[in-house]
């Protein structure tokens, strides 16, 4: 019975050590939205481990008054919890994500 308790303690220690590991955040530039930040591109940060897919796409914003903006090319990043539309090229994003993950291991 004491063996089981020792084993449980080891598992708890291992999991708490694993939670401390975190990759450096990747800084990107959000695709500008005309109704946010005066239409200026702003910085955003993503967890590199959350990246599921990176692809080139087109965004067209619908404004509060129902009007639509012209289409704008951007890169769409599918993250585990949301989508992000950014200005950087897919290859540059992939490189930054790889560097952040490599540096953290």
Residue matched to tokens 């220690």: 13
> What average pLDDT does this structure show over 52-75?
93
Domain-embedded: residue 43:
yes
Q: How many domains does the chain have?
A: 1
When pLDDT is averaged across residues 53-68 and rounded to a whole number, the result is 93
| pLDDT (0 to 100) of residue 12 | 44
Residue recorded with tokens 């692809």: 55
Structure confidence at residue 20 as a pLDDT band (50, 70, 90): low
Domain-located, residue 60: yes
Residue 19 pLDDT exceeds 50? no
Question: Does residue 47 sit within a domain?
Answer: yes
6: pLDDT strictly greater than 60: no
92/105 Cα distance (integer angstroms):
20
Q: What is the dihedral of CA 51, 52, 57, 59, to 10 degrees?
A: -70
Q: What is the mean pLDDT of the chain?
A: 84
With respect to residue 16, please indicate whether it lies within any of the assigned structural domains: no
Structural domain contains residue 36: yes
> DSSP string of the chain?
-HHHHHHHHHHHHHHHHHHH--PPPEEEEBPP-TTSGGG---EEEE-GGGEEEEEEEEE-PBPTTS-BPPPEEEEEEEESS-EEEESS-HHHHHHHHHHHHHHH-
pTM: 0.73
Residue 32 lies in a domain: yes
Rg (CA), the chain: 20
Residue 36 structural domain = 23-104
Task: Decide if 5 is inside a domain.
Answer: no
On whether residue 71 sits in a domain, the answer given is yes
């Amino acid at each position: 019975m004491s063996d089981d308790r020792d084993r449980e303690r080891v598992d708890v220690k291992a999991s708490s050590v694993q939670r401390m590991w975190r990759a450096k955040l990747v800084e990107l530039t959000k695709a500008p939205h005309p109704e946010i930040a005066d239409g200026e591109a702003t910085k955003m940060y993503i967890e590199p481990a959350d990246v599921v897919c990176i692809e080139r796409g087109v965004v067209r914003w619908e404004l509060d008054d129902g009007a639509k903006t012209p289409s704008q090319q951007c890169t769409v990043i599918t993250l585990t919890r949301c989508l992000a539309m950014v200005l950087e090229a897919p290859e540059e994003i992939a490189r930054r994500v790889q560097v952040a993950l490599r540096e953290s291991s």
